Structure 1
Amino acid sequence: MENKQQIPDYIFETSWEVCNLVGGIYTVLSTKAKTLQKLNKDRNIFIGPDIWKDTESPFFTESGTLLKEWRSRATAENLKVRVGRWNIPGKPIVVLVDFNEMYAVRNELFTKMWNWYDVDSLYAYGDYDESCIFSYAAALVIESLYKYLGGEKLNIVAHFDEWTTGMGLLYVKHRLPQIATLFTTHATSIGRSIAGNNKPLYDYLAGYNGDQMARELNMVAKHSLEKQAARHADCFTTVSDITARECAQLLSKNPDIVTPNGFEDNFVPKGVAYQDGRREARERLLKIASVLIGYKPSDDAFLIATSGRYEYKNKGIDLFIDSLRRLKDSGDSTKELIAFILVPAWVKEPRQDVAERLNSKKNYNTSLPNPLITHVLNNYYEDRVMNQLHAAGFKNNPGDKVKVIFIPSYLTGDDGVVNKPYYETLIGFDATAFPSYYEPWGYTPLESIAFGIPTITTDLSGFGQWACSAGKKGIENTGVVVLRRTDSNFGEVADNLASTVKSLSEVSEKEKQKIAKSALAMARKAHWAHFIKYYLEAYDMALNKI
């Protein structure tokens, strides 16, 4: 007879991205929370950094009643915490910890980690200290809550996300081995570094030694911490099969289970609200294009976008631009195509001339100088996107069939040009492309199909691999095109992306509706309702281990 799967009485999950929007991990946690709340209401406590000093966090609402008795205890233990709820669906309990006064124990902490677990912090730099001190503070919060709740009588899981929280996991493992620890790496630090340093990750993966590469790339501290956290956690997980192979080779540890990233589509409007949102977003995007290039684009212009972090090679930004160059140079495009690059760069401010035209009721028939970009950059001449656009010969002249517009600002609704949040902008596009080289999962294409917008990705992304295995292939069946990408076929992928974009721009209205319907159906397969089972299995593994 099989043992019944154990459900934790409490889950304490620690991440730098709790109530702190940085990247994809924020999406993982903030969408998973609603499903966890249904399973175990208010017994899933997220722990994040209290970095909000001068302004109130838009993601956090403090409470005077939640864990009131424990807060008094925490204060007596010199823990500076705020307790409240995360302003997301499910409204989970959050503890934000102020760790600034704990830097005094840095050397003592790093010495302990060397003595306990051989974590080599000697050559640490950058964000290493900040991450480790935060995760240590989070571990002290877990230790305090454990004692307050009578944890010795409960099944408790402490879940730590990414190398940034590894030191917290190791502290809990040493001090409270009766707590089941779970460690999830969303991307290995050394794998990301290999890819980011233009070294071939995939063709030579079997030949790489993680420790050796860490020394070569000056990544010893982060790699050492991540490796020991993976090794000593009661359950080690990662988000995709492609990253699992990376972990096995570079961390010398096979994940115990792959926990793919689900999401919720509650941010997608329905019915009339969807149609209104799409119309408004499209009008805004065409307006931005018109003030830059000096004439009104075609009403049926094909709008495509790429977005995400400014990881020029890893996110495939370089390949996206090159595919557009090929499409431009071929002269094959039958439709006006406007590509948007929605990638935050080192931005100074919105361009004044762009803002003035957007706020004016005049019609302009002359283009602005440099009609390729909407904001002022601090490092314009060093910016890789702008350099590639100029080298590729993009001018955005009225007669050009293919135009490119770089919007280098976070889309939070107050950037001064778009003035719409990302999702309210995404809804206006006809397609998206994310031809990633290094992408352990990939939320951006998943978000795209959740809006019924077809997307193009590669088989080097976790999402791309999942899409290939989740049902029938083909854009008409899934809303997703997955391009085969390797270390050595850049030109081939750029050609395939260009031809795919051209084909999508030419589909009939009937075909477009069919693709949108398939995209929505595919997105529903990735809901947390389907993927939470992998985390429940991981929690059970961790509890059984102890």
Structure 2
Amino acid sequence: MDTTPATPQVDLIFEVSWEVCNKIGGIYTVLSTKAKTLQKLYKDKTIFIGPDVWTSENPSPWFTECKVDGLSAWAKNAKLPDSVSVRVGRWEIPGRPIAVLVKFDGMYAVKDEFYGEMWQRFGVNSLHAYGDYDEGCAFAHASGIVIESIIASGYGSKLTPTGRISKKYQPRMVAHFDEWTTGMGLLYVKWKLPQVATVFTTHATSIGRSICGNNKPLYDYMKGYNGDQMAAELNMEAKHSLEKCVAHAADIFTTVSDITATECEQLLERRPDVVTPNGFEKNFVPSAAKYPEARKTARDRMLTVASALTGKRMDDNTFIVITSGRCEYRNKGLDLFLDMCEELKHRRLCRNVLAFVMVPAWPKEARSDLAGRMAGMNDTPFVNDEAPLADPVLTHWLNNPDSDAVNSRIHSLGFTTLDPRVTVIYVPCYLNATDGIFNLSYYDLLPGADATVFPSYYEPWGYTPLESVAFGVPTVTTSLSGFGQWVLKVSENYFDECGVNVIGRGDSNYRSVVENISHSIEYLTCADEKETKKIHKAAMRTAAEAAWPEFMVYYDQAYALALDKAAERVKMIKNR
């Protein structure tokens, strides 16, 4: 008997995030890959709402302003506060969902009054706000007003599920807010629009990330932490207060993994109602027919960059390993990755290793000497070794080379003294095909890797290892990542079974993790062609199990529960 819940009847979904049409981090990947499946389930019933932080000189490359039936008419006549404006169009991603970008500058003028209202109604303490708190709250407040205005216009609520017009029909609407940055929007909707079901997703708690970022042990002492106390100690009171209040106010509270659900229960004092793991959209991956060419293009470019930097020609037998993601030195395990590279020098490697650290930092500019040498190699490839470039571990000059943790560790480990067995190269910029050196996107380069390593300490989900297996590239991650824990639940923990090796990590076993990951990479360097193909296929199977159509059932559950709560609330209001 099939126990999968049916897709709930939803007339309109609003999803609000700072990363709608605004590529910053992992949430962009969550939403942009989920959109195609949402479009299949709820064709144009989903409206993504994001910040309009763009100008005519610097337009969003992911947004096209265009006519959307009904919504464009609303935007033209919408009565919004001064200095709040909207643009309606499409998000240029698979599925091309509707997107509304909100200019929110006008909300700063009323922030103190609004913060007071949120304190009175929900207990949000904004007194110690600083940094990006005001910006996030101004956007969220404006987004709540926009949702209110769209609903007041009658958009999406004129027809019953049977297609008939009815004034009595109560449309089933969900407002879904991602991360604390949108929390004020959820509270506004809760206050003004009781008929709308609210869902809040925390992708990582602000206080949990801060605990780890301040080099405090999170896991061994988890049961002893009090979120409010730690927020005061780490100067995170406003963000934590907002996130906690929103988690409690939302009809349904969700997070992306079991490990983060435990964190939420301890630090926010509410266990998430539903765990909604992050999926991936296979449209981002080259087809089987195009994959060999994509892999060759990527490998040629990475080997050319490395050869030009080091002055030593690297052949195609070189084993390429990548780590990537947000530049959080400890949380993302960048420290451990570099120590693992050092450990590889003492392993019996069957192939020389080229390791790339692809994390955006504070780049100054692409290296002109590197670009020039690469251009010369197109005409006359290296025959004999040449002198390495100065600082042969960097593809882009940094604004802060002495204080950059990755750069400092690479130098302290001696990787500037080139060792053919293990070469480490730091790529401290966004790989968006316009970086001046690779001029390919990260997704264009990923097929060229032989393995990836993501030894995270704090990783609520872990998109980077999921992306890796989606491209058929074996990956190593840790048991402290949500993705790693999911793999352990659904598969045997071997490369040839799932394309993934999950290494157990805690607060007290750093050195053993370094050794275990280096052993995994040593094994992969020695795998023959038959074994490598088997691992590639296993990785692709794992990715198929983590595709969005497989995971949308959890969103269906969250939306159905939230809609039931909203219906009960409306019924109670009518019966008063």
Task: Please give the TM-score of this superposition, normalised by the length of structure 2.
Answer: 0.92
Aligned to 1:343: 359
- Helix, strand or coil for the counterpart of 1:184? strand
- Helix, strand or coil for the counterpart of 1:381? coil
Query: For the structure 1 residues 225 and 197, does the alpha-carbon distance in structure 2 shift closer, same or farther, using more than 3 Å as the test?
Result: same
Tell me by how many angstroms 1:396 deviates.
Answer: 4.9
Question: Partners in 2 of 1:386 and 1:214 — Cα distance?
Answer: 30
Tell me by how many angstroms 1:545 deviates.
Answer: 1.1
Query: Is residue 307 of structure 2 the alignment partner of residue 290 of structure 1?
Result: yes
- Helix, strand or coil for the counterpart of 1:304? strand
Note if contact 2:320-2:354 (Cα within 8 Å) is conserved in structure 1. Answer: yes
Task: Work out which of the residue numbers 450, 466, 470 in structure 1 matches 2:490.
Answer: 470
Question: Partners in 1 of 2:474 and 2:362 — Cα distance?
Answer: 29
Letter in 2 for 1:422: Y
Which one is further off, 277-286 or 65-74? 65-74
Question: Partners in 1 of 2:310 and 2:81 — Cα distance?
Answer: 61
Tell me by how many angstroms 1:395 deviates.
Answer: 2.7
Tell me by how many angstroms 1:331 deviates.
Answer: 5.3
Note if contact 1:315-1:435 (Cα within 8 Å) is conserved in structure 2. Answer: yes
Query: Is residue 258 of structure 2 the alignment partner of residue 253 of structure 1?
Result: no
- Helix, strand or coil for the counterpart of 1:153? coil
Which whole-Å deviations, capped at 9, do the CAs of 1:298-335 have from their partners, x for residues lacking one?
3201000000010000000000000111122x253332
User: In the TM superposition, what are the counterparts of 1:141-290 in structure 2 within 5 Å?
Assistant: 141-149=146-154, 153-290=170-307
Tell me by how many angstroms 1:36 deviates.
Answer: 1.0
- Helix, strand or coil for the counterpart of 2:294? helix
Question: Partners in 2 of 1:386 and 1:30 — Cα distance?
Answer: 31
Query: Is residue 58 of structure 2 the alignment partner of residue 55 of structure 1?
Result: yes
Tell me by how many angstroms 1:5 deviates.
Answer: 6.5
Question: Partners in 2 of 1:5 and 1:494 — Cα distance?
Answer: 44
Tell me by how many angstroms 1:370 deviates.
Answer: 1.3
Question: Partners in 2 of 1:486 and 1:480 — Cα distance?
Answer: 19
Note if contact 1:479-1:518 (Cα within 8 Å) is conserved in structure 2. Answer: yes
Task: Work out which of the residue numbers 398, 404, 427 in structure 2 matches 1:377.
Answer: 398
Task: Work out which of the residue numbers 445, 452, 464 in structure 2 matches 1:425.
Answer: 445
Question: Partners in 1 of 2:348 and 2:6 — Cα distance?
Answer: 61
Note if contact 2:62-2:91 (Cα within 8 Å) is conserved in structure 1. Answer: yes
Question: Partners in 2 of 1:68 and 1:77 — Cα distance?
Answer: 18
User: In the TM superposition, what are the counterparts of 1:435-450 in structure 2 within 5 Å?
Assistant: 435-450=455-470
Task: Work out which of the residue numbers 403, 416, 419 in structure 2 matches 1:395.
Answer: 416
User: In the TM superposition, what are the counterparts of 1:389-538 in structure 2 within 5 Å?
Assistant: 389-397=410-418, 399-538=419-558
Query: For the structure 1 residues 4 and 406, does the alpha-carbon distance in structure 2 shift closer, same or farther, using more than 3 Å as the test?
Result: closer
Tell me by how many angstroms 1:537 deviates.
Answer: 0.5
Query: For the structure 1 residues 264 and 396, does the alpha-carbon distance in structure 2 shift closer, same or farther, using more than 3 Å as the test?
Result: farther
Letter in 2 for 1:319: L
Letter in 2 for 1:351: R
Note if contact 1:180-1:545 (Cα within 8 Å) is conserved in structure 2. Answer: yes
Which whole-Å deviations, capped at 9, do the CAs of 1:492-522 have from their partners, x for residues lacking one?
0001111111111110011000000010011
- Helix, strand or coil for the counterpart of 2:502? strand
Task: Give unmatched runs, 5+ long, in structure 1.
Answer: none
Question: Partners in 1 of 2:122 and 2:252 — Cα distance?
Answer: 17
Aligned to 1:315: 332
Aligned to 1:126: 131
Task: Work out which of the residue numbers 49, 73, 77 in structure 2 matches 1:73.
Answer: 77
- Helix, strand or coil for the counterpart of 1:380? coil
Note if contact 2:349-2:526 (Cα within 8 Å) is conserved in structure 1. Answer: no
Task: Work out which of the residue numbers 4, 7, 10 in structure 2 matches 1:8.
Answer: 10
Aligned to 2:106: 101
Tell me by how many angstroms 1:270 deviates.
Answer: 1.4
Query: For the structure 1 residues 76 and 343, does the alpha-carbon distance in structure 2 shift closer, same or farther, using more than 3 Å as the test?
Result: closer
Tell me by how many angstroms 1:73 deviates.
Answer: 2.6
Letter in 2 for 1:33: A
Tell me by how many angstroms 1:542 deviates.
Answer: 0.4
Letter in 1 for 2:309: L
Aligned to 1:84: 89
Which whole-Å deviations, capped at 9, do the CAs of 1:169-226 have from their partners, x for residues lacking one?
0011011111100000000000000011100000000000000000000000000000
Note if contact 1:202-1:487 (Cα within 8 Å) is conserved in structure 2. Answer: yes
Aligned to 1:352: 368
- Helix, strand or coil for the counterpart of 1:52? coil
Question: Partners in 1 of 2:185 and 2:518 — Cα distance?
Answer: 46
Letter in 2 for 1:91: R
Question: Partners in 2 of 1:258 and 1:65 — Cα distance?
Answer: 33
Note if contact 2:81-2:106 (Cα within 8 Å) is conserved in structure 1. Answer: no
Query: Is residue 45 of structure 2 the alignment partner of residue 28 of structure 1?
Result: no
- Helix, strand or coil for the counterpart of 1:382? coil
Aligned to 1:41: 43
Q: CA RMSD in A?
A: 1.5
Question: Partners in 2 of 1:4 and 1:480 — Cα distance?
Answer: 32
Letter in 2 for 1:31: T
Note if contact 2:347-2:522 (Cα within 8 Å) is conserved in structure 1. Answer: no
Tell me by how many angstroms 1:490 deviates.
Answer: 0.4
Question: Partners in 2 of 1:477 and 1:45 — Cα distance?
Answer: 39
Q: Number of paired residues?
A: 543
Question: Partners in 1 of 2:445 and 2:351 — Cα distance?
Answer: 22
Question: Partners in 2 of 1:92 and 1:76 — Cα distance?
Answer: 23
- Helix, strand or coil for the counterpart of 1:393? coil
Which one is further off, 387-396 or 190-199? 387-396
Tell me by how many angstroms 1:75 deviates.
Answer: 4.7
Tell me by how many angstroms 1:76 deviates.
Answer: 5.9
Which one is further off, 493-502 or 50-59? 50-59
Question: Partners in 2 of 1:60 and 1:26 — Cα distance?
Answer: 13
Which whole-Å deviations, capped at 9, do the CAs of 1:29-49 have from their partners, x for residues lacking one?
111111111111111001000
Task: Give unmatched runs, 5+ long, in structure 2.
Answer: 158-168, 567-576
Aligned to 1:327: 344
